[in-house]
Amino acid sequence: MIEVDMRTAVNAVSDVVENRPRPLREFDQIHMKTGDMVMQSEAIASWAADKRLAFIGDGDAISVAVAYLRKRDVLNFGPSRITVFDFDERTVQAVRRFADKERLEYLDAELYNVLDPFPDRAKFDCFYTNPPWGASNEGASVNAFVQRGIEAVGYEGEGCIVIADDDELPWPKQVLAKVQAYASERGFYVSRMNRKLHAYHLDDAPDLKSCNLFMSSLPENANRRAPSVSLTDPASLRNFYGGSKEPKVRYVHELKKPDYGKAPEGEYRLEFLPEESGE
């Protein structure tokens, strides 16, 4: 492990932030603040060092930051393989473009919706997810992402779930309890929890934080492995993205290749200087 140069780390993560697409609030996409992304990336790179890591959704682009910090020699550790599974094609293509540009051979992304059975892939060692936090559905949306993470590791491995954490509000406690119970039923226990670590660009709750909830499988837990099936239970889908927001979209498709480092033309209008009249 090396001592992290924070200036270099923040500058590297700012490159990642410039590359990621803007969040779609209707799908509960909310971006983590840059300083916390740096700290989170270091923590996840250390936790998943030399392991195959699946991201079940990744609007924050922590996957890219983890890979890029190692590429830039800010970190000398990290996962051996990172694959992002996301239903937003903008995110998938942003990951792929960045990986191609920076020659991050161990980083890739696939278009995938958690409502569908998890794709048949080689087993991952660990999973990471920062899902819709389940304030309006008692954690059902979180558990959908957790289930796919458990499937990604074949019921045998580790997971990191980023979830709301607040001492003043009742619903984060209720969701945490639901998620821990759900994971326990599938043979996973809470190995550690890092509380109130991350802040977000969240206008209606700027002080709301999230924690890292780390889980590990029980010995011989692979015996619990069950076939992956579609998520269709109406109770699980109710308020999936918040109040009265059931999932109706399979994929968010990218209409054209955006340049995330520049403002789109629809965002501004040019007023030109008057031309000088010639004699």
Q: Looking at residue 243, what is its pLDDT?
A: 73
Instruction: Look up the CATH number of domain 6-267.
Output: 3.40.50.150
Q: Looking at residue 256, what is its pLDDT?
A: 76
Sheet hosting strand 81-86, strand order edge to edge: 107-111, 81-86, 52-56, 126-129, 158-165, 209-217, 188-198
Residue 33's alpha-carbon distances to 61, 118, 199, 202, 207, in angstroms, are: 11, 30, 6, 10, 12
Output the six-digit token pair for 26.
């209707």
Ranges of each domain in the chain: 6-267
Output the six-digit token pair for 275.
């031309």
- Model confidence pLDDT, tens digit, residues 91-109: 999 999 999 999 999 999 9
Residues sharing a CB contact under 8 Å with residue 32, sequence separation 6 or more, in sequence order: 40, 60, 62, 130, 198, 199, 200, 210
- The H or E element spanning position 144 is helix 140-152
Distance CA 65, CA 13 (A): 6
Q: Looking at residue 1, what is its pLDDT?
A: 47
- Model confidence pLDDT, tens digit, residues 179-214: 999 999 999 999 999 999 999 988 878 889 999 999
pTM of the model: 0.91
Q: Which residues of the chain have pLDDT under 70?
A: 1-2, 244, 257-258, 260-261, 276-279
